[in-house]
Structures are given as structure tokens and as C-alpha cells.
Structure 1
């Protein structure tokens, strides 16, 4: 009799212990990351925190904002909210949908640049833990470089010389990028090489304060430097869309690809045999390199969650080196923003990551505050003029003048400049 009762009592106790577990649900748009969270990230956290169960519940990327808004209004949203950078998440905080994370253990692992995308305009309150950024630079075809006897360029003069040699060879397209979709011209072009010329955060903050303008100084010089890419773009580049450029480079038909680090994983999948390397935005006129280390994804706490303590425990772990190592290796090209030690196994991702210690860092000039106006919109204007510049239908000065005029039409610190 006793032998039967003891196991039953143990089972009852085990059941009670299981019932006392706190369950945290994560809302996200990264449905492509479901396997990574389910198989790697969540098990690692639950092993350290056996009293907390975590469920990753993503929506389709294009539907995420609308789905999340509906769930928040209905009171059915998860405990943890994956945060897009800048204004969308700031709106959620202003509407009291996200809690302040000030004082959270681990928050001091992030510097002001990392926190800017998920903090109030004055920088005093942070409402999402920065999870990862993407870094801009260049991915190159190692086979092409070896074949043509080229070295990795570190200056603009070396870069243009390499482009000239590649073009003369006739075997490879020197610089694989199209202008059909417009955004690449600005994102992988202007915002890639520009931060070095406008001195990174000094120039970006100058636009916010009114001390810098798009039609003079480093911002104009960046348009001038971008124009120098024109002779090296693929034949018919005006009709080349983003997927077309990816496909061209993955097939080994190009030598250099202006890149975001997210392209590492894409090329690994498209052509595992393609030997690729990476080099940082080159120096222009002797200026030290500054990389576009652009905040991409954060994680905050739903203010209506009934599991605030458990949610804060999870976010503290997200700020740790354990999470950084897991995330960086599960998703090569997405780099944790915490100032903690972590290693990256993918050699090209390692190269991108190395630039953080070699170069200054900033992020895209149009993303904080300056694109809050619907029309004209600073980000869209940069897409437009950067593609026109490369298509030869606009000069660098005209590009800078147009962007500056439209920004000054609504943004008070730039009025009259």
C-alpha cells in the first residue's frame, strides 16, 4: 500500500511545482527565427531559470505592427514585446504600452548609441533592451580578388583603383548594386560610406540640432563620393532590383557587393561554395573609418503583463554575454549591442564585428526624429536622390539641396538653413 501512495504523492507535488511555473510569451515579427528561439535560446534560459517557461510567438513581419496594436488594445498581447527601432517603439512607450527599464540589471552594458533607438528623445528613459544591430560594409568575392591580384582596399583611392582593374578585366562586375528599388542606393551606398565623411555621431547629431546640413560639409561630400561609384555598377543597373543583385553576386559574377551584415546568411544559403570576405567602409581624405552600426531589434516589457518580475529576469539575461554568444552565432550578421565579451564563429561575421574596435560607430542619419514627417520624409528623400544620383539624373549638390530643402520645410532646427 505504502509503495503505491508514495509515488502518487510525489506525482502530485511535481504537478503542483509545474503549475507554479511562470509562463512568458514573446511577441515578435521574426518568424524566420522561430527555430533558433525554440531550439537554442529558450532552452538555455530555462536551464538557468527552471521556474520560468518561455514561449516565442511570432507574427508575419508585414503584419506585426497591426497585429501587436490589436492585441495590446484587446489585452491579449504577450509579456515581452519585440521592439522595432525608433519611433514605432517610442509611440508604444508614450501610450504607456511599454514599461521603463531604467535600473534594470544589465542595462549599463549598453552605451548611449546602442540605447538611442529605444530611448526617449532626451535619452533619459530606455524602454527596450537593445538586442542586435546590423553593420554596413562591403562583401567581396575572394576568388575574383585572388585571380586579379587585388588587395583589400582601406582608402577611397585604393577602392577606386581596384574597381578600375576589375572593370578592365571584363570578367566580373566590379560593384554589384542596382537602383531599381532605390533603398539600396541610400542604405548600402550613402549611409555606408557617409558616416566616415560626416564624422559619425558628430554629424548625425548636427542634423538634429541644426548645426549640420545635407547640402554642405560631410553630408554633401558623401553624395560626391557616392557619385564616384557610377562607372562601376553592373550593366543595366537601373533595372536591377535587390534580389537580382543578391543573385548576381551569389552566382560569382561580381567582385564587390555593398552590404548589410544580414547578407552574410543569405549568401551562405544561396551559394555555400562562394568564398567571401568583407572589408570596412574605406577612409576618405585621411578620415578614420566610422561604421553604420544600425540598431535593428530590441525587447521590452508589456506594461499590462502580470509577470513583470519574470519578464525583467529574462531581459537581464538578454543583456548578458551568454545571450550575446547564442544570438550572434545562431544568426550570423546580427550583432548583439551589449558591451560584453562574446565570440562569433562565422569568419565573415567576425570581420564585421572587428570593425567596432577599429572604427567609430553611428547609425543611419535619417532614423532618429528626422523621418517623423510623412511627406516630405527624410528617409524616402534619401532613397530618391541617392538613386537619381547614381542614375546620372541628379548632381551631388542638387541631391543635397533637395533633401535639405524638404527637411527644413518642417523640422524647426533646420528652418532657414
Structure 2
């Protein structure tokens, strides 16, 4: 079975796992999840909110499918599902956005990609799948990948089998057709020494160029002749990503900005507040949500709950699974309720297609999706859709929203003027 990552090589010490209500705990020790790595590092200073730049309108589609490049991708018209963003009207309450995102996005023997893709469709949700580019590159062709600061063909995650490449291509096709976003988790998932935190902007650009290439040239790289092209132009589709282990945002952002990307989800974490821009790119961080039965908070990702519950052991005590599952579910719902009844700041929940501790984190996020996505005023959408909505708003209204504490509910009838 191909797994989505080699945990032991990625675990780092001294990073944010739990934080108090005010700030990260100083001198934190012990193992921290890759997606929490670097949380104590200084992030780029937020820039003033610029005037929104409207996305260029898609040209009218002539109804013809255009196959691109070697036949790996194609243009099949505007994506089904997402609707144009609208500016808040005077007296209107903001939607409660919830984004479920998935790092890696491989359909392996657990079939979790297909499980959650179908679950989203059943619960009026769209999601973001952060594809690791090498998941479209069979192990036999691994030498094509040239990672920064590493030997050709090296990676900190497993390369897929040909069967898994086929299955992943099918899930990517169905996800996009359902309105889900195909973002990027880049490629080799390197963390720590010689990982993304040590890469220059030029090295990040090389990693990005290869992420494009693995999607745009999977047919050449695999030799598959019986698989239809993906139904999207990845040059247009790809507008954001999440760096492995949340490392390297400072040097990554200039590369993303130069490409015209809309957002970055690589921040090592922040409070549950309305987003701002860094280097002209929307910053969508994992968020600190109230950790049940404590006065602390945990980052809104499955990995962070798992590390707090069973440390480096992904097969912890089965007798505790039910309690841990409830604690994870309640932690996400704590963050949701605080914003839903308060500032309406978007809630970002990060996930991996993994079965840690008996799959309890998959069950917890499934329960949350079923609970919140059909509530009044809630929109379970992709990061791209949140970026669209943010760009459509009055910058002065966004600036006022950012001043709200997560649980602070203003008089919405007068807040938007």
C-alpha cells in the first residue's frame, strides 16, 4: 500500500502543537507534526489591504473541448459548481465559510479520496485537494523529479504504483467536475534540513514548475493511452497551495506572487481571524481552535490532534479511540461555533488521507462535515472560492472584520454600511 508520507523522517521538535489563548507556549518541546513545523518562526509582516483586483472574466466558451499538450489535460469550459462572488450588501451578515482541505490527495488502497469526494457531494460541500505532483509519477519514473537540494528521484514520501496513478487521475477528474479545487502540495514533501524552509525563491519556482509538469505531462510520463485527459487547464486551475510541514512561506510567497497565484495556505498557524494578504497573496493559515476540556488551543489539522493524543505513535491505545475521536470532533466544532456565532471568520480544517489511530480523524471530520455544511448561512467551499469572495469585498469592510475577536459578534445590521 502506498502511504502519503514517511512520518518519522518528518517529525520535528520545538514547534507549535498546543498554544494558550494568548500566544504559543515558549520553549515547547517534544515531537510536533510536520504541519506544525516552523510555527514559532517570524512570518512576513502583513501588507495593507490593496484595492481588490477583479479576476478577468472567462471568455465565452464555444462548447468545444480543447486537448492541451500531450493530451494529459484539456479545456472543457468553466468549472461546474462555484458561483460568482458577490459583495456584502448593507446590513448583511457574512457567510460562514468552512474549507476542508486535503494534503497529498492520493487515491490509494484506503480509497479515502473517493470516500470524501462523495461525502462532499452528499453534504453540499466543495473542497480543496492539494495534490502532491509526484503522485502522478510512477515509481519507475522517479528519476524525472529533480528536487531542490536533493538527488534526482529523491522524495520524503513514497512514489505511487501505476494503479494508484490511474485511480488518482480518475478522482481528480471527478472532483473537478463536482466543483472541487485542485491545488498543490508541491512534490517531494521535504521537511527540516534541506526542506522548503531552506529553499530560495528560485528553488521554490523549480519545485512549482515541476508540480505543473507532472500534471500536464502524466501521459508522457506514464505511457497511459487509455485514460482520458483531465478536464481542466492546470495553468488556470492552480492558484494556491500548502507547503509541506508549513515550511518556507517567506521565500515561497514571491514565487507565488510572480505566477499570479491567489492564496497560500502554508502559514505555520494563526488565530481564528479574518485573513489578510502577504506579498499580495491571501494568507490562509491553519487556525488555533479550542482544545476540549483544556484552556489551550490546537491547530486545526488532523495531525495536530493525533500528536497531542498519542505522540509519535499512530497506533495508540485502541481503548482511547472513541474518546480521542470525540475530542477531535468537538475541537473542530468548538472553532466552528465560536466563529459561526461570533465574527464569522472562515474556518480552515486541514486533513491527510490517513488511518492514524484506527481512522478516528477521518470519522471526526466526516461528522463535522455532516453537521455544519447544511446549516443556515454556512458555505463549505474551496480556498479558491474564499479568495474570490474576499477579492469581491470592500477593503474597508474587510479591515473592520479583521478587528473582530473570533467570538465577537457585532451588530450585523449596521456593521456593513
What TM-score, normalized to structure 2? 0.25
Greater percentage in helix: 1
What TM-score, normalized to structure 1? 0.25
Structure number with bigger Rg? 1
